[in-house]
């Protein structure tokens, strides 16, 4: 689990924090919020078969799950 967290922090820092100087807390909060929306809905993730989380969820939601008894 730690690997995923460290990967997220690296991506977050590379994409949003490096190169930005925030003047106010509100400006930083807005940029963090925009990044989280991008990361959780539009950014492709290799772990999700190169789909965005939203696309992956929609694809999984449309699959019919059959009950298997053992």
Contact at 8 Å (CB) between 50 and 44? Answer: yes
Tell me, what's the pLDDT at 20?
A: 76
Q: Which residue has the higher pLDDT, 31 or 17?
A: 31
Q: How confident is the model at residue 66 (pLDDT cuts 50, 70, 90)?
A: low
Measured CA to CA, the distance from residue 60 to residue 70 in angstroms comes to 23
Closest to 35 in 3D by CA, of 5, 11, 1: 11
Q: pLDDT for 23-64, tens place per residue?
A: 999 998 998 898 888 888 888 878 788 888 888 888 887 776
Q: Is 64 helix (H, G, I), strand (E, B) or coil?
A: coil
Question: Is the pLDDT at 10 greater than 90, yes or no?
Answer: no
């Amino acid at each position: 689990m730690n690997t995923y967290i460290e990967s997220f922090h690296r991506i977050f820092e590379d994409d949003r924090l490096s190169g930005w100087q925030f003047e106010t807390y509100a400006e930083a909060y807005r940029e963090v919020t925009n990044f989280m929306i991008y990361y959780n809905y539009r950014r492709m993730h290799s772990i999700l078969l190169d789909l965005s989380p939203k696309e992956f969820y929609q694809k999984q939601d449309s699959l019919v799950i059959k009950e298997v008894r053992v």
